[in-house]
Amino acid sequence: MIITFLVIGVILSTTASFVFGVPQLMPILGAAVPYPIFFLRVRRQQYKSAFWWMLLWGVLQSIAVIIATAISPETAAKVILRGQSYTTEMLHWIRTGEGTEGSLGSFLPDHLLYYGIFCILCVVTLSSMALIFGTWMLNYMNFYVTELVKVSTKPWLAAILGWYPWSILRIIGFIATGVALAALGLNLVTRIRGEVPKSPFPKTYMLIGIGFVIADIVVKAVLAPIWQKLLLSALS
C-alpha cells in the first residue's frame, strides 16, 4: 500500500511540477509525497521504518526526475532549481579538474553549511522544511546525471559513475539525521506543552547520520580526483 502510494505520488508530483512550470514548487511537491509517512512513523517511534521508507522514496524520486528530464530537458532546465548551473560546474570540473569538487578546503565549508542548515530545519520544522531542502539537492543532482549521460560518448559508463559514491553516503546520512532530529523536535514540542516526552532521543540514528556525513567528506576527498578521470574517459 505504501509503495503504491509513493510510486503514484512521485509520478504525480513530478508531472505536476513540469506542467505548472514553477521552479519553487517542485521541491515542495516532491517532499509532500513522503512526509506524512515519515512523520507518522517518527511519531510512533518507528524509526527504522521511517528511515527505509525515506530511502526508498529517494530512489523513486531520482528515477522520476531522471526520466522526466530525459523526456523534456528544456522544461527540466526551467523547473529544477540549480540544475543547469550545477551541471555546468560539474562538467567543467570533469573536463579540467578545476573546481570545488576535488579540493577538501573548497567543498568542506559548503558541506558543513548545508548539513548545519539541514539540522536546524529538522528540529525547528520537524524535518518538513529539511525534506524540501533535501529534495531540492536531490533534484539538481539527478538533472546533472541525466545531462552527463546525454553528452557522454560512453553513456553506459556515465550512467554508472554519474551518482558519486560520496553523494549516496550523504543522502543516507541526511535521512538518518532527519529521523533523529524530527524525534528531537517532537520531544521539544511536548516539553513546550508542559508534558514529559514519552520517547527518548534516538541517538543511534543521530550517530549514524553524523557517521555517514563524515564518511561522505572522507570518501569525496580521496575518490574525487580518481572519479574525475573516470568521468573524463566517459565524456571523451
Q: Flag whether pLDDT at 47 surpasses 90.
A: yes
47-71 vs 128-151: helix crossing angle, rounded to 10: 40
pLDDT band at residue 72 using 50, 70 and 90 as cut-offs: very high
Mean pLDDT of the chain: 96
| Model-wide pTM > 0.75 | yes
Q: Flag whether pLDDT at 113 surpasses 90.
A: yes
pLDDT, residue 213, reads: 98
pLDDT, residue 165, reads: 97
Q: Flag whether pLDDT at 236 surpasses 90.
A: no
Per-residue pLDDT averaged across 38-46, rounded? 97
pLDDT, residue 200, reads: 87
pLDDT, residue 26, reads: 98
Per-residue pLDDT averaged across 200-206, rounded? 95
pLDDT, residue 198, reads: 79
